[in-house]
Amino acid sequence: MPVKKRVGLDRVQELYENRDMRAKELKAEGRTVMGYMCCLAPLEIMSAAGIVPIRILGNVKEPVTRADAHIETIACPYVRSCLDIALKGKYDFIDGLVVPHTCDNTYALYAIWSSGIVPITPKYHHYIDGPHMTFPTSVEYFDVELGRFKESLEEFTGNKITNQKLTNSIRLYNRNRALLRELYGLRKQGPPLLTGTEMTKILVACRVIPVEESNELLGEVIAEIKNRRAIPTPKTRLLVYGGEIDDTALIELIEESGANVVVDDHCLGVRSFWHDVQVDKNLIHSLGARYILNVACPRTYKQRERGYKEAMDNRFGYLMEFAKEYKVKGVILYIIRYCDTFELDAPGVREYFQKAGYPVLHIEDDYSVTTIGQLKTRVQAFLEMID
C-alpha cells in the first residue's frame, strides 16, 4: 500500500521531529543543501542559486559533550549546542555553511567549523560581514558584502543568479512571509486559533524545507486551522521576546502554566520574517536594506538621534505595537546566558514595557531542557501575579 503523504499540521509534526529528513531526501536527489545561521542570512540569494537553505538549529535535549574542547563553556549555549551537533556528525549532509556576523559567538562557530577541526567540514563556507549600524553607508557596505556572497555562490554552484531568478526567489520568500503573518493573525482573536506551541513547531518546520514547500505547507496549515471547531480555553495572553527558540520546551511550559503565547519576537519568530523585500531595480540593495534596517535584532544598533524616550521608541516601539495589537497582558524576556547581544538590550526592553504598565518576567537560561524545566515555578508565580 502506498504511504499516505502527510499534510498540514500532521506534516509539521513530522518535520519538527525529523528536522533533517527532507534536506537529506533532497540531497539524495542531487540538490545542494546549505546550512545557515541567524536571521541575517539572505536566503533569497541562496535559493536563486538553486540551493536549499536550511537553518542550523541546536538541540536543547542533547547535552553538550564535544564542543567544550573547542569553545569555552562561558560562550552562548545555543552556539555550543550547534557546534556540538556538528562535531557529532549530525550536519554531515550539508554542502555548505553560511554565517552572517550576528555576534562574536557565531563568528567563533564559523571559524571553528570552517577550519577543518569539525570532522566533516562543508565544501563551501562563507562568512557575511554585516555592519552593526543603520547609516546609509552601512547599507552600502552590506550591498557590497551581498554582491560578494552572490558571486561566490555562482562560482560554487556554476549557476548564474540572474535578476529574473532573484526576483522570483524574493517573491517566493515574500509569499512565505505573508503566509506566516496570516497565521500570526489567527492568534489575535481571544482565544487564539492556534497555540504558541503549535506555532513553534510550524516555524521550525518551515526552516528545514525549501521555500516552495514551506509555502504549500503553510497554505494547508492555514486552511486546517481556519476550519477548527474546537476553540482552546482563553488564558493569559503573553508576548515572548528573546534569542533562539527552536524547541517547544519553553513555550509548552508557559502554556501548561496557564498562558497563551500569542506573539513573539525571537530568532525563528517575527524577527526572521516580518518585513518583505522590495522588488525593484537594484535587488541586492533591496535585500541589503531589508536585512540591515528591518531585522530588529539587538546586534544591529539603531543610532540614537534625539532624547532617551525617542531612542527607546525607535528601538522597541515595534514590540509595543505587537503587544497592543495582540492584546497581551504580560511579557516574558527569554535571554540565553552569555548572550551579550540580548543581555544589553534586555534591561531597556524590560523598563520600556514596565513603564507602559506591562508585567515583565526576565529569564536567563542555559538553552537546555533541564534548565527550562526549572523555570516552571517562576512562570507560574508570574502568571498568578498578572491574574
Peptide bond into 191 cis (omega under 30): yes
**CB proximity list for 115: less than 8 A, separation 6 or greater:** 121
Candidates 27-35, 132-140, 286-294, 339-347; binding stretch for ligand SF4 (CB under 6 A):
339-347
Q: How many CB atoms within 10 Å of residue 25?
A: 12
Residue (196 or 242) nearer to ligand SF4, CB = 242
Per CB under 6 A, the list member of 336, 349, 361, 383 interacting with ligand SF4 is 336
Residue (84 or 244) nearer to ligand SF4, CB = 244
Candidates 3-11, 204-212, 252-260, 335-343; binding stretch for ligand SF4 (CB under 6 A):
335-343
Candidates 27-35, 98-106, 123-131, 356-364; binding stretch for ligand SF4 (CB under 6 A):
98-106
**Contact between 342 and ligand SF4 per CB under 6 A:** yes
| Three-class DSSP category at 230 | coil
**Contact between 296 and ligand SF4 per CB under 6 A:** no
Residue (of 268, 221, 196) closest to 36 by Cα position: 268
**Contact between 268 and ligand SF4 per CB under 6 A:** no
Per the structure block, which three cell numbers stand in for 86?
Answer: 556538528
**Contact between 59 and ligand SF4 per CB under 6 A:** no
Q: Provide the minimum distance between the beta carbon of 210 and ligand SF4 in the complex, in angstroms, as a whole number.
A: 24
**Contact between 198 and ligand SF4 per CB under 6 A:** no
**Contact between 269 and ligand SF4 per CB under 6 A:** no
* Residues 68-97 contacting ligand SF4, CB under 6 A: 76, 78-79
Candidates 99-107, 115-123, 176-184, 317-325; binding stretch for ligand SF4 (CB under 6 A):
99-107
Q: Provide the minimum distance between the beta carbon of 70 and ligand SF4 in the complex, in angstroms, as a whole number.
A: 16
Residue (201 or 299) nearer to ligand SF4, CB = 299
Of the chain, the end-to-end C-alpha distance in Å amounts to: 53
Q: From residue 90, give the alpha-carbon distance in Å to each of 37, 51, 55, 204, 348.
A: 16, 19, 13, 17, 38
Q: How many residues bind ligand SF4 (CB under 6 A)?
A: 13
Per CB under 6 A, the list member of 244, 255, 365, 366 interacting with ligand SF4 is 244
| Three-class DSSP category at 327 | coil
H-only helix segments in the chain: 8-17, 21-28, 43-48, 77-87, 104-114, 136-157, 163-185, 196-206, 211-226, 249-256, 270-273, 283-293, 308-325, 340-355, 369-373, 376-386
Distance, CA of 135 to chain centre: 24
Per CB under 6 A, the list member of 53, 122, 243, 330 interacting with ligand SF4 is 243
Q: From residue 196, give the alpha-carbon distance in Å to each of 119, 253, 295, 296.
A: 37, 11, 21, 21
- Listing DSSP states for 141-193 in one string gives HHHHHHHHHHHHHHHHH-----HHHHHHHHHHHHHHHHHHHHHHHTTSSSS-S
Sheet-wide strand order for 330-336: 259-265, 236-242, 330-336, 360-365
**Contact between 103 and ligand SF4 per CB under 6 A:** yes
**Contact between 105 and ligand SF4 per CB under 6 A:** yes
Q: Provide the minimum distance between the beta carbon of 272 and ligand SF4 in the complex, in angstroms, as a whole number.
A: 12
Q: Provide the minimum distance between the beta carbon of 58 and ligand SF4 in the complex, in angstroms, as a whole number.
A: 9
**Contact between 339 and ligand SF4 per CB under 6 A:** yes
Residue (237 or 266) nearer to ligand SF4, CB = 266
Residue (44 or 365) nearer to ligand SF4, CB = 365
* Interface ranges with ligand SF4 (CB under 6 A): 76, 78-79, 102-103, 105-106, 243-244, 336, 339, 341-342
